[in-house]
Amino acid sequence: MKLSDRVARMKPSATMAMDAKAKDMVAQGKDVLSFALGEPDFPTPEPICEAGIQAIRKGHTKYTPASGTARLKSAICTATERDLGLAVKPAQVCVGNGAKHIIASIFGSLLDPGDHVILIAPYWVSYADLVELFDGTWTAVQAPAERDFVPDMAAVEAAVTDRTVAVLINSPSNPSGGVFERSDIEALAEVAVRKDLTIISDEIYKHILFDGRTHYSPAMVSDEVRQRTIIVDGVSKTYSMTGWRIGWLIAPEAFTKGVGTLQSQMTSNPNSIAQEAAADALLGPQDAVEVMRAEFEQRRDLIVGLLNGIDGITCRTPGGAFYAFPDVSSYFGKTRRGRTLETATDVSAYLLDEALVSTVPGEAFGVADNIRLSFACSNEQITEGCARIAEALAG
């Protein structure tokens, strides 16, 4: 049967593919330790689960408005005021089936064929494919490790073409853990105003920040910048609700309305039960968020220390999210157990076969020298996984 060019040229998500391969190996009885998937390992907090159960009992089991229920939109406004100090109206909020779906809806609503988007590399795996799905083009500006994975804003400005409509940032970043400080956001906002760009700000990890950092959104810079900012957020990472599939955007009303129209034709509405639980997550006690954040910080210290202790690996200390992104390029050109490692993909494949440790190669994120390890797993797994990596790389 015919398959559209649009889909034929699309790559499956590299992180999901790597995780699926690791799970296959586990099913074959192999003792694989997975560091591949970006999913908190904590259960969804009990009160949120209970809210989901109550939602079913109370009959929240029917279609909702395409852009989300009034209750969830109001909860998002309340949480946005609490967390960012921003007053937002429900009409500026559109809810979708997770932040990934919302990002797809944004590109579907923003891009005409040939429109250009600037990404920051290393970038999250899905951005580029989603731009292409909607006939957009993209280039990636490198955010080098030496700058703690924050780009030079002059390089961002230099990447603007006469077709550039948006720049997409993700702070804290998946996969690098890089965090834009307030001054970085202000410098980016200046470029966006001067060049008339929309800023898409993926803030899905904003509650997972370390060393006392606080989150700063482009929407906080000024009213002028807010008018050109689309915030992307969701409950997946903050509340360990990846399977519930609730994400949202906050943008100027007219744009938000367009996204709602698109979604009304594509999905009708996000899951009604999950919307109720997400509202409770946002409005209820937030203690679990801090417990998980603190746990991630402790694991970050553990994994970064262990990785840097391996000969030939250098790992920056991520400022947020739950990924270590070590540089493994010192192994390129070296032979281990009869295999010559030329790329990060080779290193990642070698570690899966020889150390039974799954990671994601940097190429999936637009960079050549690194691999990504999620530290959303136990201290025991981190310790054992790093020991296996050290042994396999030693020869």
Ligand X SMILES: Cc1ncc(COP(=O)(O)O)c(C=O)c1O
Residues in contact with ligand X by CB under 6 A are 38, 98-100, 124, 170, 174, 202, 204, 234, 236, 242, 247
CA gap 176, 388 in Å, rounded = 22
CB atoms within 10 A of CB 30: 12
d(Cα 266, Cα 257) in Å, to the nearest integer?
Answer: 14
- Minimal distance, residue 194 CB to ligand X, in Å: 26
Min dist CB 37 to ligand X, Å, is 8
DSSP 117-154: EEEEES--THHHHHHHHTT-EEEEEE--GGGTT---HH
Measured from the CB atom, is 306 or 324 closer to ligand X?
Answer: 324
User: Could you tell me the smallest distance in angstroms from the CB atom of residue 330 to ligand X?
Assistant: 27
Please identify the residue of the shown chain whose CB is closest to the bound ligand X.
98
Q: Quick count: other Cβ atoms within 10 Å of Cβ 210? A: 20
- Nearer Cβ to ligand X (204/221): 204
At closest approach, how far in Å is the CB of 107 from ligand X? Answer: 13
* Nearest distance from C-beta of residue 97 to ligand X, angstroms: 8
Give the 3-state secondary structure percentages of the chain, helix then strand then coil, rounded to 5: 45, 15, 40
Q: Which is nearer to ligand X, 109 or 174 (CB)?
A: 174
Which residues, at least 6 apart from 121, have a Cβ–Cβ distance to it below 8 Å?
140, 141, 142, 143, 365, 366, 367
Q: Identify which of residues 238 and 381 has a Cβ nearer to ligand X in the complex.
A: 238
CB of 335 to ligand X, least distance (A): 34
- Can you tell me the distance from the alpha carbon of 92 to that of 84, in angstroms, rounded to the nearest whole number? 15
Closest distance of CB 215 from ligand X, Å: 14
Closest of 124, 130, 47, 96 to residue 233, by C-alpha: 96
Question: In angstroms, what is the minimal distance from the CB of 162 to ligand X?
Answer: 28
CB of 387 to ligand X, least distance (A): 27
Cβ proximity to ligand X: between 271 and 329 the closer is: 271
Q: How many CA atoms, within 13 angstroms, populate the side-chain half-sphere of residue 292?
A: 27
Judged by CB, which is closer to ligand X: 83, or 202? 202
Cα–Cα distance between 346 and 336 in angstroms, integer? 11
How many Å apart are CA 135 and CA 266, to the nearest integer?
A: 18
List C-alpha distances in Å: 59 to 53, 55, 273, 348.
Answer: 10, 6, 9, 47
Q: Are 287 and 275 in contact (CB under 8 A)?
A: no
Report yes or no: 13 and 149 within 8 Å, Cβ to Cβ.
Answer: no
Q: How far is CA 312 from CA 57, 236, 309, 327, 334, in A?
A: 56, 34, 9, 9, 11
Token pair of 344 as six digits: 């990060």
Q: How far is the CB of 310 from ligand X (least distance, A)?
A: 25
* Closest CB to ligand X among residues 260, 341: 260
Tokens 């970043």 correspond to: 173
